Amino acid sequence: MRDDARGHWVDEVAGLARRWLGPGVLPEGPRPDEWWAALAARTALAALASHEGSADVARALAAAVGLGLDTGTESLPALRRLATERSAEPDLVRRVVQDAGHSGYAWSPPPGDRDPAVRWPRPPVTPARYLEGPEGPPEELSAAGLGRRLLTDHIRTGAPEQLDEAEAVLRSVVREVPSGGVHQESAYGDLAWALLLRFVRSEQREDLDGAIEYAMVARVFDQPSEPGAAHPPPWEAVLGMALLARHDLTGRGVDLDNAVAALERSAARLRSDDPDLGTVLSTLADALLCRHGQRGNPADLRRAGELQYNVEHYPSLATARFAAYLSSGDPEALDDAVDAGTASVEQARDPAQRAWSLNNLAGYLLARHEASRNPSDAAASVDRLNSARELLRRGTTAYAAVSLNLARALMAGPTPLRARAARLAGEALDTEHTTLALQAQALELLCAVAEFDGGRSPVVEVRAEFLDLRLGALVERLNAEPAGPRVSSLRWARARLRRGMGRHEESHELAREVLGDRVWDVLAQPDPAEAYRWARQTLGEATELAAWLSADEQPGEAFAAVESARDLALHAAADTDPVADRLAAVGSDDLRRRWLLARESTVSSSGPAAPRRELDGPPAGQDRQRLLAEVRLALSPRSGIGPAPAAGLLERPSLRALAEQVRAVDADAVVHLVLGRGATPGSALVLHAAGDATALPLPNLCENSVKLRRFVLAHDRCLRFPEDKRADNEWGKALRGVYGWSWQAVVGPLLSHLSSRPELAERTVPQVVLVPTGTLGLVPWHAARRKGDGPGWHYAIEDAGFSYAPSAGSLGGFADRAQAPLDGAGLVVADPSDDLPHARQEGGDLHRWYYAKGPRLGRSGDPVAPPATPRAVLGSLRADTASGAPPVAHFACHARSCAPAADSHLVLAGGQRLTVAALLRSVRPTDRRDGPLVVLSGCATAVPGDRYDESLSLATAFASAGAAAVVGTLWAVRDEDAAQLMTDFHHFLNLDGLPAAEALRQAQLRALARARRRTAGGSAAGRTRAEDPLHWGAFLHYGRGVPGALGPHPGPETEAGCAAGRTDGGTARTRSPIFARMPGGERSEVVWLCPEADCPYQAKGDAKAPFDEDTCPRHPRQALRRE
């Protein structure tokens, strides 16, 4: 603020305060603007006591706002109403109280795939100040002390007359101008709490506004009654609770923002032993979650998860653990939230607090049901929500939120109760004063559950035209936010509704427009994890559109819709920013700079939220809103400035160009596998090398498949509890159940379809590239089996060659690269953790036999090989030398599949990690026409820890970094089995000259043939166990592939186990993830030490690796290890 303007407002306040509060209130020394603003508000309150003070009330309010009043209170609405009633100067009042309300637009709301519940801010919790009142007879207490005593008695008894008397006593205290200008014993703050309690009972807006105004004054002027008091008064917390209550009443985003700021200030002032700390942190975390639910800023999630709680304060713990789940996807955090939420319900006595706790617990249970599909969680959620509804009054926001959550829960069970769910959603929709976000979610759910047929719902008496009008009206209200994700969700619901009305072409057109806007919903995210979640939602909508198009006999359009969404998911997973690139291409350098600055500042803002002032100008969210509109205009083809934004993302992919890429990688077809949902069956969208597309219906490929669901749940449990033998056994059983299901559901119909193609009549072994989505990426489709013509099983790899890809468009990268010729050079990384003896022997043999011209990296302290640190590995992979990158890079080591997927990593020497994120940052594609074959002989290197989608894993990261082909794994492989199969693979690759895809297929056929020879003449059960794909089916191929011969190729007879010096009776190790998801938050700064005895060398780093040197300068063969 300019000095002259500040001086004007300070002089104005000083004069008014001297008149209404007395000269003793003015300070002797300088005070900050905040103090003067609070004094101005206090002066306005005093002036209201006189009928002659109306003009001064308006002048004091103007000064308060001019000095940056930090309240978010619509410029003190209670004062404004009284001043207006007393005919204050109209133009001045209008200037001061102009509505600063806004929806608080942020980059996006969350897609809701993890948090399906609607929540409201926590109701006010009694501060410790009111649990014990002043001692002594009432007649000996001061007026302020009596008011506080009455408040304490009301808290204990609940008698409303005590609250009314306390309010009257405290109001008389603050209206009296004391000598010296200082009120006794925090009367302003106590009056604020009294008014907040009365609002809870009366729901009168005037009480709530008054609570906010008096709390704002109290936080500046009400000091502790005793100098040096250990615990500061709770006025910041009271202000935050009151602002949350008004947000709950009106849905205004400015109140929520200022509530978060007030609670942050309160938390910063409280000591660790303060009795109010748990309440403040719990309320703050819940407010952050509430704001994230409306806007989706990932910084709110991070902040909520970073708050430090007492583990016995269950509301706080539940909120923190649920925030951790939303941020990381860690199912253990979700289990913790359910446990803490249950304890929170048991502790709650106040009906409002109990209803809030029940709703939150139901949300945690619903989220767990979404993740695990356990019907008991859905049933428990329904029970909790019914109990919460009984505690709430109809017509309130809280009641509407619980009703909407109950509708979701009723739809989540094994038998959806559509009629009741639709009625509940309609009830929530018709509730007055709810947030636009809640109205939007109610409309979306109503459209989804009603399932209109010909314009009328068979389950509820409501016509589609009525909902169409409501959707249109709400979209208009939200259209002030360009490309707002909530608008996109509403428009998608409208597209679904119009299809139910029989207006198919309209639904196609609207759905395509929404998917185009979804591109911006994704690209505008500064946080990669949030962008990826939105990309996944876009993919879900694209598959729904594909089902519509397939039913309308448009298979090419269906394939293009899914392919576009997969391509978008790849951009989000790899954290690329095509917007910045496109802005640079069209010469918008200033716009590009502002775009990058906005993304960086948003993703890094994880500290306490800054307060929002009434007249500071547009909030940051609105600045970004306008920036996004500028960017869209600059990149719009209609602008005439440049081409369409993010080329290839908004445009429909060319099936002809994609077919050329299919032919270039020697494949016959690329296939999108689309999982069926609800009444919509699954499908295989097939693009043939000839250029035509087919939509193959697959009714057994659905999310309700018992065998698929059992396998996914067992996989989850096995990752969460890697040392649990029972979980491992259950996973093995579930995997064996998937072999037959995958043939029946997908592989059998797909191979039958391909065999009918005339161009493949002479093809002995067709080559297929599969693009599975989500949990389908866990299934080893190449290991699908059926009963053979004779005894035993017949497997898919005996009929066809299978490769995998994250999208059809990604084949272009492989098509542009040829595998570098095998010349005896190669990078071999073997057993850097020093606990995989077969991997160590495997690496030594492969290096000696085939790749002796290249480097071999191993464990720390190995006298033969240097330690395999991230820098050493990345240095060997870079193609910045005359000889270029090595033709082969073989990794025989542990791998960890983590959430988020960018944290998935190879475990190298000293426990240092080579992460997906580091790989994408450090190794970028070059203009070279050849690339290495990367072999990841670890565990689950083709499975990310986040939602199991192939878009981002260690395997696809190496592909993005320029590999010509990649071999990865789907699960933990026994060290012995991996060594044997990899020995065969490299033999076929080097000595027989087979391409990587066929070399891998032949190695797997070789393992199958060995198993059959060993069990020839034995029982069928023994043969089935021996040839179990568990031993050979984990490996899969990305990249180029050519057809090979039908039968097993002649190859090496030496058992790798013998070459590796197998020890009888020893326990077989697996190249398994030590942690599927890294447990808990990791320190941002870690000390790394030299493992050599008596060596004092230390280096700083993060949890992944040292920042600088990763080996000890004094002992170069020793990789540094974490302290």
Q: What is the pLDDT of residue 402?
A: 93
pLDDT-based confidence at residue 1060 (cuts at 50, 70, 90) = very low
Q: What is the pLDDT of residue 55?
A: 74
Domain 817-1059 sits in CATH 3.40.50? yes
Q: What is the pLDDT of residue 453?
A: 52
- The answer to whether the beta carbons of residues 916 and 957 sit under 8 Å apart is yes
Q: What percent of the chain has pLDDT over 70?
A: 79
pLDDT-based confidence at residue 456 (cuts at 50, 70, 90) = low
Domain boundaries, the chain: 3-96, 123-224, 526-601+619-650, 655-804, 817-1059, 1080-1123
Tokens of 716: 């989850």
Tokens of 439: 């109205």
Mean pLDDT for 601-621 is 41
Kindly report, residue by residue over 559-607, the tens digit of the pLDDT: 999 999 888 887 777 666 777 777 887 788 888 888 877 766 554 444 4
Confidence check: pLDDT of 204 > 80? yes
Mean pLDDT for 1105-1120 is 84
Confidence check: pLDDT of 1121 > 80? yes
Kindly report, residue by residue over 139-170, the tens digit of the pLDDT: 778 888 888 899 998 888 888 899 999 999 99
Kindly report, residue by residue over 246-295, the tens digit of the pLDDT: 887 777 778 888 899 999 999 888 888 888 888 888 889 888 888 877 77
Q: What is the pLDDT of residue 996?
A: 92
In single-letter form, the type of residue at position 861 comes to G
Confidence check: pLDDT of 216 > 80? yes
pLDDT-based confidence at residue 57 (cuts at 50, 70, 90) = confident
Kindly report, residue by residue over 720-773, the tens digit of the pLDDT: 777 788 888 999 999 999 999 999 999 999 999 999 999 888 888 899 999 998
Confidence check: pLDDT of 74 > 50? no
- Secondary structure, 3-state, 890-955: EEECCEECCCCHHHCEEECHHHCEEEHHHHHHHCCCCCCCEECEEEECCCCCCCCCCCCCCCCCHH
What angle is formed at CA 623 by the lines to CA 622 and CA 624, rounded to 5 degrees?
Answer: 90
Q: What is the pLDDT of residue 138?
A: 80
- The answer to whether the beta carbons of residues 682 and 700 sit under 8 Å apart is yes
Confidence check: pLDDT of 910 > 80? yes
In single-letter form, the type of residue at position 813 comes to G
Give the predicted TM-score (pTM) of the model: 0.74
Q: What is the pLDDT of residue 1101?
A: 84
pLDDT-based confidence at residue 796 (cuts at 50, 70, 90) = very high
Query: Which neighbouring-strand residues pair with 914?
Result: 906
Confidence check: pLDDT of 484 > 70? no
Average pLDDT, the chain: 78
Kindly give the interhelix angle for 143-157 and 160-175, rounded to the nearest 10 degrees.
160
Helices and strands in the chain: count of H runs, count of E runs: 41, 21
Confidence check: pLDDT of 551 > 70? yes
Contact partners, residue 1025, CB within 8 Å, separation at least 6: none
Kindly report, residue by residue over 803-857, the tens digit of the pLDDT: 999 889 888 888 877 777 888 889 999 888 888 888 888 888 899 999 999 889 9
Question: Where is pLDDT greater, at 1112 or 317?
Answer: 1112
Mean pLDDT for 774-795 is 89
Question: Where is pLDDT greater, at 463 or 1090?
Answer: 1090
8-state DSSP, 222 = -
Q: Which of 755, 757, 750 is nearest to 700 (CA)?
A: 750
* Spatial separation of the C-alpha atoms in residues 282 and 374, rounded to whole Å: 29
Buried b (16+ CB within 10 A) or exposed e, 275-314: ebbbbbbbbbbbbbbbbbbbbbbbbbbbbbbebebeeebb
Confidence check: pLDDT of 444 > 50? yes
pLDDT-based confidence at residue 1001 (cuts at 50, 70, 90) = very high
Which residue stretches of 50-204 are H helix?
A: 54-66, 77-85, 90-96, 143-157, 160-175, 187-202
Q: What is the pLDDT of residue 1115?
A: 86
Q: How far apart are the first and last CA of the chain?
A: 50
Confidence check: pLDDT of 1070 > 90? no
Confidence check: pLDDT of 483 > 70? no
Mean pLDDT for 99-107 is 28
Q: Which of 583, 591, 587, 545 is nearest to 564 (CA)?
A: 545
Confidence check: pLDDT of 637 > 80? no
Q: Which of 1102, 560, 1097 is nearest to 808 (CA)?
A: 560
CA 575 to centroid of chain Cα atoms = 14
